Homo-oligomer: A and B are copies of this chain.
Amino acid sequence: MCIAGRSIISVTIKDIAKLANVSHTTVSRCLNDSPLISDKTKNRVLKIAKELNYEVNSSARSLSTKKTGIIGVIYQQELEDFGSSAYINELFLELRHNLETLQLDTILLEAINPDTFMSNTIRLIRQHKVDGFLLIHGQISPNDITYINEYDIPAVQVHFKPDYLDLNTMDYYITDNIRGGYIAAKHLIERGCRKIIALECSPNIGKEFEDRTTGFKNAAKEGRLAEEDCMVFKMKCKYLSAYHFVHEHIELIRTCDGIFAQADILASACITALKEHGLRVPGDIKIVGYDDSFYSTLVPPFITTIHQPREEITVKACNRILDLIKTDGEEIKSLEQEQIEPYLIIRETT
């Protein structure tokens, strides 16, 4: 099937114009649903467009509108380890999905090109390759942020909020980690725990884990646990770290009745290791995880955990970026900085 000798793969508005006996300008207006055009011609043109299976040439449109319909999603290289970043990956897929719903395509990249060490963020902006950014990155470079702010590039920070920056100028949707830690500890205490260990992930990304510990301590104080009965241990967010921790501190752990693991993967490791020492969960010791990632329902007993409100975060972030792109700095946009509350999901480990 060919139009004027050229394969159907590249139908242009001129082709449609010819068949509809109008100018290509009119076709363009029809396709963009301009109010200038009469319904009659609009319908006729759209029908032909459909018949020809027309799709806009996005380069051409971009060149003239300066919009690409593409969002750059920046992720953190170090999180490539899918084991310890299950939640981030779930987050990413949700973002991509939501963007698609909003008719936006997604370019995924690391902040830094691993070969040239140049900023991908800045490159994409200068190349006009994306309309904006979603940043799932706890340690984005200050340069990038400055650049984004200076040129007023639409961008929203998702999940992470780098604490080394003054982010007064950038939108973000993050979770309330203090609250999450608080809920977790409070739940343990309500279940009767009086001596609790918190497993804090380290290194800290932003203050994510530190905050969870803060919340944990707040609840402990509120529940009148003695200082020495709420201990905090830092470790890498890896299965083996928690696994070895349990083996190395088993005597201490035997004297405890609760563990707050700041990631489900750590909770899962604890359960396995405890089992090897003959300790029962939740009989001998109760455990609360964090994230509500797939780890929490991988092996029985399923893990009581803090649900990260990914649905809300991703939907809001995607809608927001779309807004920013559309208004494009016309109106002075107010800042959207929201901290969304996580909540407890009770399963079998408490």
Q: Which residues of A contact B (CB under 8 A)?
A: 7, 9-10, 53-60, 62-63, 68, 70, 80-83, 86, 89-90, 93, 96-97, 100-101, 105-110, 113-115, 120, 123-129, 151, 239-240, 243, 269, 272, 275-276, 294-295, 298-300
A-B pairs, top 4 by smallest CB distance, nearest first, are A55-B126, A59-B62, A59-B63, A83-B294
Chain B: which residue is nearest A96 at the CB level?
B108
A318 CB, min distance to chain B CBs, angstroms: 13
For residue A126, which residues in chain B have a CB less than 8 angstroms away from its CB? 9, 53-55
For residue A100, which residues in chain B have a CB less than 8 angstroms away from its CB? 109-110, 113-115, 120
> Is the beta-carbon distance between A299 and B62 smaller than 8 angstroms?
no
A124 CA to B56 CA, complexed, in Å: 10
Other than A59-B60, A83-B295, A275-B275, give 4 A-B pairs with Cβ distance below 8 A.
Answer: A57-B63, A58-B129, A59-B63, A82-B82
28 A-B contacts, Cβ less than 8 Å apart?
Answer: A10-B128, A53-B126, A55-B123, A57-B63, A57-B127, A59-B59, A59-B60, A59-B62, A59-B68, A59-B128, A70-B107, A82-B82, A82-B86, A82-B294, A96-B108, A96-B109, A100-B109, A100-B110, A100-B114, A100-B115, A100-B120, A105-B124, A239-B298, A240-B299, A243-B299, A269-B299, A272-B272, A275-B276
For residue A127, which residues in chain B have a CB less than 8 angstroms away from its CB? 55-58
Chain B: which residue is nearest A57 at the CB level?
B128
For residue A83, which residues in chain B have a CB less than 8 angstroms away from its CB? 294-295, 298
For residue A97, which residues in chain B have a CB less than 8 angstroms away from its CB? 114
For residue A272, which residues in chain B have a CB less than 8 angstroms away from its CB? 272, 299
> Is the beta-carbon distance between A299 and B239 smaller than 8 angstroms?
yes
A103 CB, min distance to chain B CBs, angstroms: 9
A120 CA to B239 CA, complexed, in Å: 37
A114 CA to B68 CA, complexed, in Å: 21
> Is the beta-carbon distance between B9 and A151 smaller than 8 angstroms?
yes
For residue A86, which residues in chain B have a CB less than 8 angstroms away from its CB? 82
For residue A123, which residues in chain B have a CB less than 8 angstroms away from its CB? 55
For residue A96, which residues in chain B have a CB less than 8 angstroms away from its CB? 108-109
Selected contact of A108 from candidates B89, B108, B113, B151, CB within 8 Å: B108
A189 CA to B314 CA, complexed, in Å: 50
Chain B: which residue is nearest A92 at the CB level?
B108
Selected contact of A106 from candidates B54, B57, B80, B107, CB within 8 Å: B107
For residue A60, which residues in chain B have a CB less than 8 angstroms away from its CB? 59, 63
> Is the beta-carbon distance between A115 and B90 smaller than 8 angstroms?
no
Given contacts A82-B89, A97-B114, A239-B299, contact A105 B107 (CB under 8 A): yes
Selected contact of A101 from candidates B53, B70, B115, B269, CB within 8 Å: B115
> Is the beta-carbon distance between A9 and B80 smaller than 8 angstroms?
no
A135 CB, min distance to chain B CBs, angstroms: 17
A55 CA to B240 CA, complexed, in Å: 45
